[in-house]
Structure 1
């Protein structure tokens, strides 16, 4: 008797990346209470790329989002805008 192959659903790569990015986001933009000027140096276990200095400020992020969103991947952009709809609103306002 021949065995029937077991069908295992393969997750969509976009959905997997969006999920991974979403796990790294702050719970809400209000949690980004860093300075408007200056930088924050993140520890290596948080930012493992060559760049570890950032300005983490909610208002600055919203103001810069229309440009920043063009510099990141589509899954990262989707995760940020889904978690924080005010970022999508900032983009629509800038385009108007």
Structure 2
């Protein structure tokens, strides 16, 4: 599990995607639920940077960018907990295994079995 850091030392990898990046609860995710959002360059350095939250394709694209490239601060600022849970069944297919596993281990409500 190199994605989660060095298991022998218990320290997160500087290159991996560890749970220390995540909020404590999904309730902390209080990002916008409507309107347009412009992501900063440190998240979206090429291509589309302005996303209309009302357009599901654009919302999913924005969430994918933030989930892959963001920090705890970015997650809280740009993601909404309810929207994340609602769209997770599709989003999880758009994310790498490390990102998906880290979020689902931290938040069991995101697991596919939780949706059933």
TM-score (normalizing by structure 1):
0.62
> Which residue is equivalent to 2:34?
37
After superposition, the CA RMSD in angstroms is: 2.6
Q: Which has the higher contact order (CA 8 A, sep 6+)?
A: 1
Q: Shift of residue 27 of structure 1?
A: 2.4
Moved over 4 A (4+): none
Quote how far apart the aligned CAs of 1:67 are.
0.6
Aligned length: 80
Of 15, 20, 23, which residue of structure 2 is paired with 1:23? Answer: 20
Deviation, 1:49, is 4.3
Structure number with bigger Rg: 1
* Structure 2, unaligned runs of 5 or more: 7-11, 52-61, 63-77
Cα distance in structure 1, aligned partners of 2:98 and 2:30? 25
TM (norm. structure 2) is 0.54
